């Protein structure tokens, strides 16, 4: 296949737009509710009940347990009803020996031999999610860095460079170098005279030369200077080792046509801005810490079937799975419901028509993950990748390398496939139709195109698809601007004696921070209503 030697105007404009992509990505993601910064300013100062008041909370995820933690500290009597036989909700970490049954009856097994795990839901924490960090500090949850961008990890296209993955750092630096060369040529040919003063012209040329590592002719070519930035084909050595040789940049045209530079936008989002963090030992360390504080008020295996209310209080009917599925009732002065809207829409709820329509209006995004355990850390030992994420145009979308146990021997787990149904192209529904074993087989078949060591080193695998989970029926609330305009305020308002909370009641859906902020806001308003 042949490529043009110079980019078209459209390609050049697209390239320059890619360089400025962070702002564009942030604008787009903010409109969808993904990149809004946390509004956390501290825990709410609750006045507490005027007299003995009982709060019934539905759901022992992070929103429900945070609400219980703060309201009990303020003097309210609290009880949590949880459908599952575990706490944590979608903050789920899968480890060796665990078993789950998904909708359709297929069993999800996990036979990991080492201490690796798969975070089926949340798996990283942006540093600007201040509420999560504050509660981790208060509850003693140990955090360590999460490497979101590793220049040694790969960008991959099955149709480019004979299917050979390219280093993230190489693609990024080559794009920067080529764009710098093109802009320098445009400057020297007078193409930007209307936009740049004579003084700025010289400063910009000097900056482009340094930023893009251009030579004296403002060309992006292999040189010792570039080797010090991009790396070496033969690295500097010692003694009588071979002379160093700088790496050779990828030419502009094949790089443009590869689509790899498009994948760089995955690192432009404000939500994924380094540094990021994760709890030591798995994301459920956060919800486990909350559970230790409120475990005595949690009733597990309680499937809510009806929420009734009047002017004086709330009555919740539920099936008690721990007592032969007997139908029981709990009454309270107020109810905080954190049940996902996808499930809540199927429960009989006494509420206003506007609230009922809001509950039913918000669809839930699909998401899937596959975790694969291998005999050794070949990505570290063979490929020099310690942490980070590889992106590909294959249906597995991304491979995330563990940020713990570096350079250790023995088994280790890769998050070998992950995607959500939020982009223009999504493979999530295809993965959702597969059996658990088919997902593992597919992740192996696709992943070996990037890491050929898969076949020799594979031990076992596990997977998770959120649309086949009966207590969630999807991954997170998938808002649009129109839906927010029509339903968001209604969904968050106190409806008589009922208030909703959870990531779906936030401008940061899919994140633990959204769940926490929603819960803290709900209990603050409920406390104000109680003391009005």
Q: What is the average pLDDT score of the chain? A: 92
Nearest to 258 by CA among 1, 524, 516: 1
pLDDT at 180: 97
- Residue 130: which H helix or E strand, with range? helix 130-139
Q: In this prediction, what percent of the chain has a pLDDT beyond 70?
A: 92
- pLDDT category, 23, cuts 50, 70, 90? very low
pLDDT tens digits for 397-449? 999 999 999 999 999 999 999 998 765 567 888 999 999 999 999 999 999 99
The answer to whether 136 touches 512, Cβ cutoff 8 Å, is: no
Q: What is the pLDDT of residues 290-299, one digit of tens each?
A: 999 999 999 9
Kindly report whether the peptide bond that precedes residue 362 is cis, defined as omega within 30 degrees of 0: no
What pairing do the DSSP bridges indicate for beta strands 498-500 and 458-465?
A: unpaired
Q: Write down the number of H helices and E strands in the chain.
A: 19, 25
Could you tell me if 179 and 212 are in contact, meaning their C-beta atoms sit under 8 angstroms apart?
yes
Query: Does residue 30 register a pLDDT over 90?
Result: no
Check residue 424 and give its pLDDT: 56
pLDDT (0 to 100) of residue 39: 81
Instruction: Write down the architecture of domain 54-89+287-360+478-530 according to CATH.
Output: 3-Layer(bba) Sandwich (3.50)
What does residue 455 show for φ and ψ, rounded to 5 degrees?
-65, -40
Which residue, 475, 433, 244, 440, is CA-closest to 341?
475
3 state SS of 259: coil
pLDDT digits (tens, 9 = 90+) for 306-347: 999 999 999 999 999 988 889 999 999 999 999 999 999 999
Residue 305 pLDDT more than 90? yes
Write out pLDDT tens, residues 52-68: 899 999 999 999 999 99
28-42: average pLDDT: 56
Distance CA 526, CA 333 (A): 11
Distance CA 480, CA 166 (A): 35
Rounded to 5 degrees, φ, ψ at 454 are: -50, -50
- Residue 106 burial class via C-beta count within 10 angstroms: exposed 0-12, middle 13-18, buried 19 and up: middle
Q: Which CATH number fits domain 94-152+274-282+365-468: 3.30.230.10, 3.90.660.10, 3.40.50.720, 3.40.630.10?
A: 3.90.660.10
Distance CA 374, CA 410 (A): 8
Residue 88, C-beta contacts closer than 8 angstroms, at least 6 positions apart: 60, 61, 62, 284, 287, 288, 291
Question: What is the C-alpha to C-alpha distance for residues 336 and 470, in angstroms, rounded to an integer?
Answer: 21
Question: What stretches of 410-531 show up as alpha helix (H) in DSSP?
Answer: 428-432, 436-447, 454-457, 481-483, 489-492, 512-530
From CA 212, how far away is CA 264, in angstroms rounded?
17
pLDDT of residue 303: 98
Q: Residue 3: pLDDT band by 50, 70, 90 thresholds?
A: very low
Whole-prediction pTM: 0.91
Does domain 9-24+168-258 correspond to CATH entry 3.90.220.20? no
Average pLDDT over residues 36-45: 81
- Least reliable range by pLDDT among 185-199, 281-295, 322-336: 185-199
Which range has the worst mean pLDDT, 171-175, 262-266, 479-483?
262-266
- In this model, does residue 18 exceed pLDDT 60? no
Q: Which two tokens stand for residue 323?
A: 């007592």
Please report, for the chain, the start and end positions of each structural domain, with discontinuous segments joined by +. 9-24+168-258, 54-89+287-360+478-530, 94-152+274-282+365-468
Strand pairing class (334-337; 54-58): parallel
Mean of pLDDT values over 365-389: 97
CA 324 to chain centre: 38
Residue carrying structure tokens 């921070």: 513
Tokens of 197: 């003063």
Indicate the burial class of 89 (C-beta count within 10 angstroms; 0-12, 13-18, 19 or more): buried
For residues 226 and 249, is the Cβ–Cβ distance under 8 A? yes
pLDDT range class, residue 2, cuts 50, 70, 90:
very low
SS3 label, residue 96: coil
Give mean pLDDT, residues 127-132.
96
Structure token pair of residue 199: 């003084």
Q: What is the pLDDT of residues 215-270, one digit of tens each?
A: 999 999 999 999 999 999 999 999 999 999 999 999 999 999 999 988 998 898 88
Give the CA distances from residue 399 to residues 16, 159, 413, 430, in Å, rounded to whole numbers and listed in that order: 28, 18, 11, 18
Nearest to 380 by CA among 427, 349, 412: 412
pLDDT at residue 457 in the model: 98
Confidence of residue 31 (pLDDT cuts 50, 70, 90): very low
Give the pLDDT confidence score for residue 51 in this predicted structure. 85
Per residue in 137-156, pLDDT (tens digit) is: 999 999 999 999 999 999 99
Strand partners for 465: 368
């Amino acid at each position: 296949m042949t490529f043009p030697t110079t980019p078209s105007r459209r390609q050049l404009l697209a390239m320059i737009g890619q360089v400025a992509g962070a702002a564009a990505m942030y604008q787009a993601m903010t409109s969808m509710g993904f990149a809004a910064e946390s509004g956390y300013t501290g825990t709410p100062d609750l006045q507490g009940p005027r007299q003995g008041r009982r709060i019934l909370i539905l759901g022992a995820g992070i929103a429900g347990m945070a609400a219980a933690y703060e309201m009990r500290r303020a003097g309210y009597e609290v009880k949590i009803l949880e459908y599952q036989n575990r706490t944590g909700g979608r903050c789920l970490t899968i480890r060796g020996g665990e078993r789950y049954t998904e909708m359709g009856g297929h069993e999800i097994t996990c036979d990991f031999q080492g201490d690796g795990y798969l975070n089926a839901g949340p798996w990283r924490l942006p540093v600007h999610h201040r509420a999560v960090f504050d509660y981790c500090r208060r509850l003693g949850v140990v955090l360590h860095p999460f490497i979101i961008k590793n220049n040694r990890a790969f960008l991959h296209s099955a149709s480019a460079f004979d299917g050979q993955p390219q280093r993230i750092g190489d693609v990024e630096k080559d794009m920067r170098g080529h764009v710098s060369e093109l802009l320098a040529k445009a400057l020297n040919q007078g193409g930007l005279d209307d936009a740049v003063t004579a003084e700025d012209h010289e400063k910009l040329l000097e900056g482009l030369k340094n930023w893009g590592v251009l030579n004296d002719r403002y060309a992006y070519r292999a040189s010792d200077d570039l080797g010090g930035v991009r790396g070496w084909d033969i690295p500097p050595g010692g003694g009588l080792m071979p002379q160093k040789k700088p790496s050779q940049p990828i030419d502009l045209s094949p790089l443009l046509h590869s689509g790899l530079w498009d994948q760089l936008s995955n690192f432009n989002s404000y939500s994924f801005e380094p540094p990021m963090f994760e709890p030591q030992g798995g994301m459920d360390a956060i919800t486990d810490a909350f559970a230790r504080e409120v475990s005595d008020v949690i009733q597990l295996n309680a499937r809510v079937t009806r929420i009734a209310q009047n002017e004086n209080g709330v009555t919740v009917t539920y099936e008690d799975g721990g007592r032969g599925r007997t139908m029981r009732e709990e009454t309270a002065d107020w109810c905080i419901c954190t049940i996902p809207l996808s499930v809540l829409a199927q429960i009989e709820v006494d509420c206003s028509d506007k609230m009922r329509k809001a509950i039913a209006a918000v669809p839930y995004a699909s998401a899937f993950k596959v975790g694969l355990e291998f005999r050794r850390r070949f990505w570290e030992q063979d490929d020099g990748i310690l942490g980070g994420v590889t992106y590909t145009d294959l249906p597995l979308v991304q491979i995330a390398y563990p940020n713990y146990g570096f350079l250790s021997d023995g088994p280790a787990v890769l998050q070998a496939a992950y995607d959500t149904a939020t982009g223009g192209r999504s493979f999530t529904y295809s993965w959702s139709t597969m059996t658990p074993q088919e997902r593992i087989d597919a992740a192996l078949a696709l992943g070996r195109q990037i890491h050929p060591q898969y076949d020799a080193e594979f031990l076992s695998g596990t997977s998770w698809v959120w649309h086949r989970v009966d207590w969630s029926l999807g991954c997170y609330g998938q808002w649009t601007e129109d839906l927010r305009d029509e339903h968001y305020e209604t969904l968050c308002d106190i409806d008589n004696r009922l208030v909703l909370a959870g990531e779906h009641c936030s401008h940061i859906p899919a994140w633990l921070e959204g769940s926490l902020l929603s819960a803290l806001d709900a209990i603050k308003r409920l406390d104000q209503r109680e003391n009005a």
